[in-house]
Structure 1
Amino acid sequence: MATPSTLAMILAGGRVDELGVLTHYRPKSAVPFGGFARVIDFPLSNLMRSGIERIAILSQYRSYSLINHIGTGAAWDMIGRNRGIFILPPFKDYYNPHWYRGSADAVYQNLDFIRYNKPEEILILSGDHIYEMDYRQLIRFHHEQDADLTAAFIKVEKKNAARRFGVAEIADNTAEGGRLLSYEEKPEEPKGDWASLTVLCFKPKVLCAILKENQAAESYEFGRDIIPMMMRRGMKVFGYKFNGYWGYTRTVDEYWQTSMDLLGDSPLIDMEHWGLRTNLEHRGIRDCQPLKVGPDGSLDNSMAYNGCIVEGIVRNSILFPGVQVEKGAEVSNSILFFNNTVKEGSKLERVISDVNTSFGSGVRAGAAGGRVTVIGWNNHVPDGMVIGGGCSVAPEMDADKWPQEGLADLEELR
């Protein structure tokens, strides 16, 4: 039986401060998304549909939620001979005194795993982007160009790329892509208008050599260090032009907007068409009762998964399993994670609420048209509490720490 030619490695262990309380207890790749799934499900489903069945997940920050979600890998058909999902946590040993010091260092510390699998190409992916891609097309382009590295990019406006993405200029060799003419990591004034997707295809020998050389440096990132180093050496670095949807989830506002792209008559994200898979055993999703909408309940341009009970009004919102919206409550433009309860008379507007949170009677949270309010997990918001727009509430707040006067716009409660 032929062994897989491609080894995929997913960078999934990081936490970003911009997601605030949503990543207090989980890596960004394990943040819930889409009413039932997790962000990492998108690259995993892409790999499954692309026939890439040998996958390593590099995890560091608070890995339990991610490990619990991946399980055996069966949800993505990653069980069997010559296939599987392997979670590679950081480690220290006689030769290596460091935890993962960056994306490139994380891969370097697992070169023995790469050598053991003997791949013909190595595909390195970010675990926190929302998109659909057939990686086989990129890999074919990589081989046709005999590239040392092929990176995927998407067209963006320069003003939107400044200080946010790695940005490249790509020669028009073919409609699919061309040689990189320049590359800058999060520049203030970008030269190019192609933003990196952090989808990287390497020749294994080239990757191993460049990562070993990078160990003498003080920074260990693919975008900041590895790609520029290869460009300076005149190595064969190509850009693959991706033309599909790409959702970014680095900040709260970006996560909220990407989630809203699931809604509408013609949503930009079509999870059913994309063939998204998730682990339905995680949090007992598969055992939830069907969605129940009461006689006074309504769902308008919203998603509500099994296990939800809607007795109130829900507009332009996403409800995960176990959410209950009582009669007389209103939820608008919001995202409620697993097992939230919204009591009678409460109104939520542009709120993201983490798991196991309840909103008492008469609560007012969030504000229309402003910044998104985020409530950490395992909270009970007291009856009558007023929380302004753009507020942030830490997980598991004690009852006596909630201020009687409420929270003004942009205020934090820790």
Structure 2
Amino acid sequence: MKRELLGVIDATTYHDDLEDLLTHRSLAALPFAGRYRIIDFVLSNMVNSGIRSVAIFPKMQYRSLMDHLGSGKNWDLNRKRDGLFFFPSPIVDFDGNKIGSFENFAANLDFFYRSTQEYAIITNCNTVFNMNFRPILDWHSRSGCDITEIHHKDGGSMEMYLIKTSLLIKLIETRNETGYTCMNDVVNDLQNLYSVCHYEYDGYAVMIDSIENYFSTSMNLLQSEVWQQLFPKDQPIFTKVKDEPPTKHVKGSEVRNSMIANGCVINGSVENSIISRGVKIGKGAVIKNCIIMQKCQIEENCYLDSVILDKDVKVEAGTHLSGTAQSPFVIRKGTQQGALMNS
């Protein structure tokens, strides 16, 4: 019988260094690459690996995440049997940076009891990568290990764990006796009773945990070799489908080495930037090395360099904003930024 995998995505992660972008959303729902969200990568990887049952465990500010994923239709997870499941954490006070909280899982233990999949893959929600988990399952079953922790070729854990579902249930049930609070605790305990193996992944992978590496990872997408590793044709990254018109490039506008999503109106100059859906850029505006999120409005004669505009930001005519690659200038969602405010 074919071995089946259960997908478990821990979406409780929060990093203080991303606070400006997480005021109204969870990290899993952070926009990326113009039309995606961070969670799209791990969720699509699971679907491409043949996983048909995925449980997502969010903590706070998860309305945006649920709106994005909906019933799971865009990932072929809106099914009568198995499918996509949301289990918001009933526990407010726990460390969201420890992947695979047993206390969090325990509140939904019935889900694991009912699952028919022999194995489970437990992952974080904030890694940008493209991986098929099936070869890892084959490697794990041949190795005879109890737990396989996925490591990146550059060293260090990717905070992803493959384990038998029955053993996961046991770890959850015995958490008070063992003192293990999460998967991290188990694999890092040198005296644990389980054999822990490491599987090395040699592909492109970045864990988003700060504004700086969110910005740099986004800018790396403009390199064709990185794009090809993340978006191969045989393993697509799925996302929420939105029916919008093509972007309009007004006569006199200029776009170089940039990604432009649907529904935009470009009057000005865009260079080395990522522009999300529905953005309007006015005449004479210059946008360089920027991430502009959905439905932002940049009026005439603005100059933006190394700037991140969150959704629904309006930048008034003549405004000049500049940051650096190490410290991009961030404007929070729904803010109105005016020239007089920066003079």
Using the size of structure 2 for normalisation, the TM-score is 0.92
| Cα distance per residue 1:88-135 (max 9 Å; x no partner) | 1123xxxxxx44734322223322211111321111011111000100
Structure 1 vs Structure 2 CA RMSD: 2.0
* Corresponding residue number in structure 2 for 1:87: 86
Of the three residues 142, 146, 149, the one matched with 1:148 is: 146
* Corresponding residue number in structure 2 for 1:337: 293
Aligned-pair CA distance for 1:207? 2.0
Given that 1:305 and 1:320 are in contact with CA atoms closer than 8 Å, whether structure 2 keeps it comes out as yes
* Corresponding residue number in structure 2 for 1:311: 267
Corresponding residue SS for 2:156: strand
Aligned-pair CA distance for 1:362? 1.2
1:381-396 pair list within 5 angstroms: 381-386=337-342
| Cα distance per residue 1:289-344 (max 9 Å; x no partner) | 11111111111100001111111010100000011111110111110110011111
Given that 1:60 and 1:100 are in contact with CA atoms closer than 8 Å, whether structure 2 keeps it comes out as no
* Corresponding residue number in structure 2 for 1:279: 240
* Corresponding residue number in structure 2 for 1:109: 107
2:304 matches 1:328: no
* Structure exhibiting the larger radius of gyration computed from Cα positions: 1
CA distance in 2, matches of 1:207, 1:83: 19
What amino acid does structure 1 have at the position aligned with 2:79? G
What amino acid does structure 2 have at the position aligned with 1:201? L
Given that 1:154 and 1:242 are in contact with CA atoms closer than 8 Å, whether structure 2 keeps it comes out as yes
What amino acid does structure 1 have at the position aligned with 2:226? P
* Corresponding residue number in structure 2 for 1:372: 328
Aligned-pair CA distance for 1:272? 5.3
CA distance in 2, matches of 1:297, 1:342: 14
* Corresponding residue number in structure 2 for 1:187: none
CA distance in 2, matches of 1:252, 1:125: 21
| Cα distance per residue 1:133-156 (max 9 Å; x no partner) | 100011111111121101110122
Aligned-pair CA distance for 1:216? 5.1
Aligned-pair CA distance for 1:279? 1.1
2:212 matches 1:253: yes
Given that 1:211 and 1:226 are in contact with CA atoms closer than 8 Å, whether structure 2 keeps it comes out as no
Corresponding residue SS for 1:133: coil
CA distance in 2, matches of 1:346, 1:358: 11
CA distance in 1, matches of 2:82, 2:321: 47
Given that 1:323 and 1:338 are in contact with CA atoms closer than 8 Å, whether structure 2 keeps it comes out as yes
* Corresponding residue number in structure 2 for 1:55: 54
2:58 matches 1:65: no
Of the three residues 179, 204, 212, the one matched with 2:165 is: 204
Aligned-pair CA distance for 1:368? 4.4
Corresponding residue SS for 1:266: helix
Judging changes above 3 Å, is the alpha-carbon distance between structure 1 residues 228 and 369 closer, same or farther for their aligned structure 2 residues?
A: closer
* Corresponding residue number in structure 2 for 1:363: 319
Aligned-pair CA distance for 1:3? 9.9
2:199 matches 1:243: no
Q: Which has the higher contact order (CA 8 A, sep 6+)?
A: 2
1:212-227 pair list within 5 angstroms: 212-215=173-176, 220-223=181-184, 225-227=185-187
Judging changes above 3 Å, is the alpha-carbon distance between structure 1 residues 148 and 308 closer, same or farther for their aligned structure 2 residues?
A: same
Given that 1:73 and 1:79 are in contact with CA atoms closer than 8 Å, whether structure 2 keeps it comes out as yes
* Corresponding residue number in structure 1 for 2:10: 11
* Corresponding residue number in structure 1 for 2:226: 267
CA distance in 2, matches of 1:270, 1:204: 29
Given that 1:324 and 1:341 are in contact with CA atoms closer than 8 Å, whether structure 2 keeps it comes out as yes
* Corresponding residue number in structure 2 for 1:293: 249
CA distance in 1, matches of 2:77, 2:167: 28
% identical aligned pairs: 26
Given that 2:130 and 2:231 are in contact with CA atoms closer than 8 Å, whether structure 1 keeps it comes out as no
Of the three residues 275, 279, 302, the one matched with 2:258 is: 302
CA distance in 2, matches of 1:3, 1:71: 29
Judging changes above 3 Å, is the alpha-carbon distance between structure 1 residues 306 and 278 closer, same or farther for their aligned structure 2 residues?
A: same
2:313 matches 1:354: no
What amino acid does structure 1 have at the position aligned with 2:107? Q
Given that 1:364 and 1:384 are in contact with CA atoms closer than 8 Å, whether structure 2 keeps it comes out as no
CA distance in 1, matches of 2:341, 2:161: 47
* Corresponding residue number in structure 2 for 1:412: none
CA distance in 2, matches of 1:35, 1:73: 20
Given that 1:361 and 1:384 are in contact with CA atoms closer than 8 Å, whether structure 2 keeps it comes out as no
* Corresponding residue number in structure 2 for 1:126: 124
Given that 1:12 and 1:29 are in contact with CA atoms closer than 8 Å, whether structure 2 keeps it comes out as yes
Given that 1:329 and 1:342 are in contact with CA atoms closer than 8 Å, whether structure 2 keeps it comes out as yes
CA distance in 1, matches of 2:79, 2:323: 50
CA distance in 1, matches of 2:172, 2:330: 39
